[in-house]
Amino acid sequence: MDKRKTLMWLQSGGCGGCTLSLIGAESPDFLASLDIAGVDLLWHPSLSEATGTEAIALIRQILAGEIALDILCLEGSVIAGPGGTGRFHMMSGFDDKPMKDLIAELAGVSGTVMGIGSCAAFGGVTAGGDNHVEAMGLAHDGSEPGGLLGPDFRAKGGLPVVNISGCPIHPDWVVETLFQLAAGTMKAEDLDAFGRPKGISNKLVHHGCSRNEFYEFKASAEKLCDLGCMMEHLGCKGTQASGDCNMRAWNGVGSCISGGYPCIACTEPDFQEPGHPFAETPKIAGIPIGLPMDMPKAWFVALASLSKAATPERLRENAKSDHIRLAPRSRSKVRKP
Residue 334 lies in a domain: no
Q: What is the pLDDT of residues 275-303, one digit of tens each?
A: 999 999 998 877 787 777 777 777 777 88
* Residues whose CB falls within 8 Å of the CB of residue 224, separated by 6 or more in sequence, listed in order: 230, 234, 260, 261, 279
Residue 1 is predicted with a pLDDT of: 44
Residue 297 is predicted with a pLDDT of: 74
Do 20 and 154 have their domain in common?
Answer: yes
Of the candidates 35, 160, 152, which has an alpha carbon nearest to the alpha carbon of residue 110? 160
Do 253 and 186 have their domain in common?
Answer: no
Q: Which residues of the chain have pLDDT under 70?
A: 1-2, 333-337
Domain with 161, as residue range(s), is 5-201
Cα–Cα distance, 259 to 12 (Å, whole number): 30
Count of domains observed in the chain: 2
Residue 331 lies in a domain: no
Of the candidates 109, 112, 84, which has an alpha carbon nearest to the alpha carbon of residue 98? 84
Do 142 and 238 have their domain in common?
Answer: no
Residue 332 lies in a domain: no
Dihedral sign for Cα 40, 42, 46, 48, please.
positive
Q: Which of 180, 201, 222 is the last residue of a domain?
A: 201
Residue 255: what residue type? S
CATH number of the CATH domain containing 212: 4.10.480.10
Characterize the bridge pairing of strands 97-98 and 90-91. antiparallel
Do 82 and 144 have their domain in common?
Answer: yes
CATH number of the CATH domain containing 158: 3.40.50.700
DSSP assignment letter at 14:
S
Give the global pTM: 0.92
Of the candidates 197, 204, 23, 13, which has an alpha carbon nearest to the alpha carbon of residue 122? 13
Residue 289 is predicted with a pLDDT of: 79
Dihedral sign for Cα 301, 306, 307, 308, please.
positive
Q: Which of 201, 222, 247 is the last residue of a domain?
A: 201
Q: For the CA atoms of 63, 66, 69, 74, what is the dihedral angle to 10 degrees?
A: -30
Computed over every residue of the chain, the mean pLDDT equals 93
Residue 333 is predicted with a pLDDT of: 67
HSE, CB side, 13 Å, CA atoms: give it for residue 105: 15
* DSSP states along 105-170: HHHHHEEEEEEESHHHHH-GGGG-TT-TT-EE-SSEETTEE-TTT-TT---TTS---EEE--SS--
Do 216 and 297 have their domain in common?
Answer: yes
Dihedral sign for Cα 126, 127, 132, 134, please.
positive
